[in-house]
Amino acid sequence: TRWNVYVTNEIPKPALDKLEEYCDIEVNRTGLVLERSVLLEKVKGRDAVLSLLTDPIDAEVMDAAKGVKIFANYAVGYNNIDIPSATERGIMVSNTPGVLTDTTAEMAWALLFSVARRVVESDKYSRMGKYTGWGPMLFLGQDVMNKTVGVIGAGRIGLSFAKRAKAFDMKVLYTDVAANPQFEQETGGQFVSLDTLLKESDFVSIHTPLLPETHHLLGEKEFKLMKNTAILINTSRGPVVDESALVKALQSGEIWGAGLDVYEFEPEFTEGLLELDNAIVCPHIASATIDTRTKMGMIAVSNIIAAMKGELPPTCLNPEVFQK
Ligand code: GLV
Ligand code: GLV
């Protein structure tokens, strides 16, 4: 029988079309993040829910969602879902790994270059009518080539990001809970402690998941260790950085700049952040390419369809639920 599926926001059409071949679907087409009360109401009586990273799927939502067999999260990150609670209730959870790895890594580089070469700030200057002619001191930035880049988190995205450093003849340092031989082989990167990475890097790019252990991994103490010329890039999760400490570090010149795609209190920005010329503040778009967002949709949908057919969803995060 066809499943009844709720989709918490509009995703690319090919994915919705595919889902509709197999299931009856309702999609939140407001374009807005679902309010909690609406989410609690809409999950009722469904067989599956395609959720977003902006939907907190906790025990209360799961209890409201009696009958739901799978939450298919449209993201690689799944810190918005309480997996132990899902497992306890026999509910499967899936994410969309792999397809957004290189896309996210490219965005980290886009931010790195944009901050280093002051692309956004200087574009604004031109639009404000301030450009009166070539200036020897106009918007001096930082070179990227031959510098040291520090990668925090040597997972798929960190690896993809680091591989690209070769093209700019950079030295790669990395840190993680353990050394990663594949990472070293493919990037020539050197495993160091977080403190060493922060002291020696010209660019620091964060690629860790958000976990209790990575919450506020970077704060006041860490910014003090960094060079005054250093640039921080974050395309992972906002709460990995103590954002008010970051604002202070950018205001005082403790570090030189930051390229951000994620925020501690998303979609809010910490006071002072938006006034800073040395920060670029993108609205969580690192996986936002037409190709990648379509592929993410197809993976999320394929997890739901597999579950419906009684098969193991291909990117299930708690397969022990299926085995039962
Ligand atoms: C985006 O942030 C994701 O986790 O896919
Ligand atoms: C996510 O895809 C990661 O493991 O870096």
Out of 46, 118, 284, 293, pick the active-site residue. 284
Query: Does 284 qualify as catalytic in the annotation?
Result: yes
Query: Does 266 qualify as catalytic in the annotation?
Result: yes
Query: Does 216 qualify as catalytic in the annotation?
Result: no
Query: How far from 59 is each of 67, 114, 171, 192, 264, CA to CA, in Å?
Result: 14, 41, 45, 39, 23
C-alpha count within 13 angstroms, C-beta hemisphere, residue 252: 12
Confidence of residue 323 (pLDDT cuts 50, 70, 90): confident
Tokens of 223: 């910014």
State if residue 76 touches ligand 1 by the CB under 6 angstroms criterion: yes
For the chain, give the mean pLDDT: 97
Q: Does the interface ipTM go beyond 0.85?
A: no
**Quick one: average pLDDT of 174-203?**
98
pLDDT over 90, % of the chain? 99
Confidence of residue 143 (pLDDT cuts 50, 70, 90): very high
Tokens of 228: 């005054």
Mutational test site, ligand 1, from 103, 156, 211, 287, max ligand atoms within 8 Å of CB: 287
Confidence of residue 154 (pLDDT cuts 50, 70, 90): very high
Closest atom of ligand 1 to CA, residue 96: 5
Residue 322's pLDDT is: 93
* DSSP one-letter code for 41: H
Q: How many other β-carbons are positioned within 10 Å of the β-carbon of residue 55? A: 24
pLDDT over 70, % of the chain? 100
For residue range 243-265, what is the model confidence (pLDDT) as tens digits?
Answer: 999 999 999 999 999 999 999 99
Q: Which residues contact 204 (CB under 8 A, 6 or more apart)?
A: 149, 150, 152, 197, 198, 226, 230, 231, 232, 233
pLDDT of 1 > 90? The answer is no
Burial of 83 (0-12, 13-18, 19+ CB in 10 A): middle
Confidence of residue 240 (pLDDT cuts 50, 70, 90): very high
Closest atom of ligand 2 to CA, residue 98: 2
Domains, the chain: 3-97+290-323 (3.40.50.720), 101-281 (3.40.50.720)
For residue range 275-310, what is the model confidence (pLDDT) as tens digits?
Answer: 999 999 999 999 999 999 999 999 999 999 999 999
Q: How far apart are CA 251 and CA 261, in angstroms?
A: 19
Instruction: With 0.90 as the threshold, say if the pTM is over it.
Output: yes
Residue closest to 287 by CA, chosen among 140, 136, 102, 147: 102
Confidence of residue 179 (pLDDT cuts 50, 70, 90): very high
**Quick one: average pLDDT of 154-162?**
98
Residue 223's pLDDT is: 98
For residue range 75-84, what is the model confidence (pLDDT) as tens digits?
Answer: 999 999 999 9
Beta bridge partners of 231: 203, 257
Element containing residue 203 per DSSP (H, E): strand 203-206
Residue 130 Cα to ligand 1 middle (Å): 37
Q: How far apart are CA 16 and CA 20, in angstroms?
A: 6
